[in-house]
Structure 1
Amino acid sequence: MEKVIEIEGLTKKYGDFTAVNNLNLSIGRGEVFGLLGPNGAGKSTTILMLLGLTEPNGGRAKVCGIDPVQYPIRVKKKVGYLPEDVGFYEDLSGFDNLVYTALLNNIPQVEAEKKAHDLLEKIGLGKEKDKKTSKYSRGMRQRLGLADVLVKDPEVIILDEPTLGIDPSGVKSFLQLIVKLSREDGITVLFSSHLLHQVQQVCDRVGIFVEGKLLAQGKIDELSTQLFSANAFVLKGGIKPINRDNTHKTLSPEKLKGKLEAIPGVAKVTLGKECFELQADSDVSHLASLAVIEAGYGLRFLNKKEFGLDDIYSRYFQ
């Protein structure tokens, strides 16, 4: 995969404080990458260095093959940046704000108006295009902000905490829009956030960023396997003895536990009155259900727990 963002040993210090510490990261074309970490972790400082808005003390970065320190204007032509709060001319409509941005990017008037109209339809603000932005909700402003960065047809979009203050339904549609843009237009997205569930919904890969350091990066399932290794798969089942004839007796709970423990790859089995929990290094749900039935029990339910980003995040902090 072609690398659109490449970072090697990037470091930024403010006096004795190290905001970003020896950061190494690469992001491919069309990828949605989540930069995940608490406030103050160094995410925004990293973004500023990628945009050429602040210079690193060490290391280097390339965006679309361009060094942002040497050629910040060239980088800005390739990258669209959506901060936490976007500023617009409040007395202008959403349409007029977009046209103005297009004109600033040297797009001719006729083309600018067509682009503004098409983008407003694309982001779901077509019916609100003539309304003054002072009347826009927080969610509408962020959608308009997304259109604003798309005006210049960027190869990369950087989103810095873009969903703060948006209601849940607005967040869902905004996140869906980001994924759609990435998939349909091949845009690379760097999504910086401290909201784990949102990152998990949209990102192909994540990087866990704490105190200026990237502790881990990869796909969520890969990080889960690395962290939880021997018990990466957890099954929870509900069971109930079945009344059968004398030739097919239900085994005792202890013998049922023994059958479950004998399944290859199982690390631990906990048995309750009418339930069990099983930890294994792979998905053994088919073997577990067979063992329960062969032991003379009915299987009321069988759920597989997958460790999510919150589990991974918590484990790294531990």
Structure 2
Amino acid sequence: MTDPIPVHAEQPAIELKGLTKAYGSQLAVSHLDLTIERGEVFGLLGPNGAGKTTTILMMLGLTEPTGGSARVLGLDPTRSPLQVKRRVGYMPDDIGFYEDRSAFDNLVYTARLNRIPAAEAAARADELLAKVGLAEAARKKAGAFSRGMRQRLGLADVLIKRPEMIILDEPTLGIDPEGVRELLELITRLSREEGLTVLLSSHHLHQVQQVCDRVGLFVEGKLIASGDIETLSRALEAGGTVTVDLELAEWPEDLEAKLLAAEGVIRIDRHASAGMNGTAAAQIACASDITPDIARIAVASGADLLSIRRRSYGLDDIYHRYFEGGDKKHERRAE
């Protein structure tokens, strides 16, 4: 069936509005709104069972949504699944190859299924095997490949038809740390060289953050936040407060009163530093980022300022807050 809506290059690569999938009374995906721009590397991050794979299947037209809508490269995957599949490469977490055929033969077979002429298919297969670091193993049977080699072959397989976008579902699953590093570097390089939009699904926050422009946090079928790591960190600041870490050589007697009198300071938590010289330190909760003001007040009080910085949430903090039963009031969209 031909999609009646014209496809324009300026349309987002992915546009989901209220996308929902229910299995009986169980909501696998709940009213998902998500836009991914062309050329973006986007990470869909969440624990196993969060609904990431179900979302991907709806985007590929492999399962129909219960409600809402999806547009992939301007196409409706429910009405035009074949057109979507021609333009999108998909690598599932468990890739199937013909085990008794070589890596080269597997790629050529995929290319021929996509109506690529034989000579072009062979040339493209050799080119991609070199790009993913499998040139020397091109004529080896896929059944003898390690997990890492299979994932590299999987990347070549999804690229053989020259897609506009690739979707990678848990691509690093079961690979050793060095293999993960190499695969992520390969994904980054290929996405730039091929000019691709990339959607990468994973439950490993650190891996996603290494390669993605933005991250969407997916929990229990809901997208609870999206943005880059800095944006997500700001969204976690409890009650809109900013924490400033202050370390001084010693704490002047009147400094606490002066700080509390400053506009924006909410509370001060003083504690002894772990430093060898017994330096004085404090965490100062503020209504906004007034780090320069705090520094000026401390110096004007005669204190020797050793360090001052606005505290930012790291990757582990973000993971803990969202995925390990953290404060529910922070489950909001970060734009």
Whether TM-score is above 0.5 comes out as yes
How far apart are residue 182 of structure 1 and its match? 2.8
How far apart are residue 157 of structure 1 and its match? 0.9
**Counterpart secondary structure, 1:12:** strand
1:172-222 deviations in Å (ceiling 9; x for gaps): 121122222333333111111111222222222222222222222223322
Which stretch of the first structure deviates more once superposed, 72-81 or 10-19?
10-19
Q: Give the TM-score taking structure 1 as reference length.
A: 0.85
Alignment match of 2:67 (pick from 58, 77, 83): 58
Q: Is residue 314 of structure 1 aligned with residue 320 of structure 2?
A: yes
Q: Give the TM-score taking structure 2 as reference length.
A: 0.81
Corresponding residue number in structure 1 for 2:103: 94
**Counterpart secondary structure, 1:112:** helix
Q: Is residue 204 of structure 1 aligned with residue 213 of structure 2?
A: yes
Q: Is residue 113 of structure 1 aligned with residue 119 of structure 2?
A: no
Q: What do you get for the CA RMSD once the two structures are aligned?
A: 2.6
Alignment match of 1:85 (pick from 75, 94, 102): 94
Q: Distance in 2 between matches of 1:132 and 1:179?
A: 27
1:210-249 deviations in Å (ceiling 9; x for gaps): 22222222233223223316666544455435xxxxxxxx
Corresponding residue number in structure 2 for 1:244: none
Check the 8 A contact 2:11/2:74 in 1, yes or no.
no
Q: Distance in 1 between matches of 2:299 and 2:131?
A: 53
1:122-155 deviations in Å (ceiling 9; x for gaps): 1222233233222222111111101110011111
Corresponding residue number in structure 1 for 2:231: 222
Q: Distance in 2 between matches of 1:262 and 1:80?
A: 59
Corresponding residue number in structure 2 for 1:123: 132
In structure 1, what residue type is equivalent to 2:312? E
Corresponding residue number in structure 2 for 1:247: none
Identity of aligned residues (%): 55
Q: Distance in 1 between matches of 2:294 and 2:134?
A: 51
Corresponding residue number in structure 1 for 2:269: 270
Q: Distance in 1 between matches of 2:308 and 2:102?
A: 54
How far apart are residue 158 of structure 1 and its match? 0.8
**Counterpart secondary structure, 2:215:** strand
- Structure 2: gaps spanning 5 or more residues: 1-9, 273-278, 328-335
Alignment match of 1:297 (pick from 299, 304, 320): 304
Corresponding residue number in structure 1 for 2:148: 139
In structure 1, what residue type is equivalent to 2:269? T
Cα distance change on mapping 1:235 and 1:10 into 2, 3 Å = same
Alignment match of 1:150 (pick from 128, 140, 159): 159
- Structure 1: gaps spanning 5 or more residues: 242-250
How far apart are residue 72 of structure 1 and its match? 0.8
Q: Distance in 1 between matches of 2:14 and 2:234?
A: 26
Runs of 4+ in 1 over 6 A off after TM superposition: none
Alignment match of 2:180 (pick from 171, 179, 182): 171
Q: Distance in 2 between matches of 1:265 and 1:132?
A: 66
In structure 1, what residue type is equivalent to 2:314? G
Which stretch of the first structure deviates more once superposed, 255-264 or 103-112?
255-264
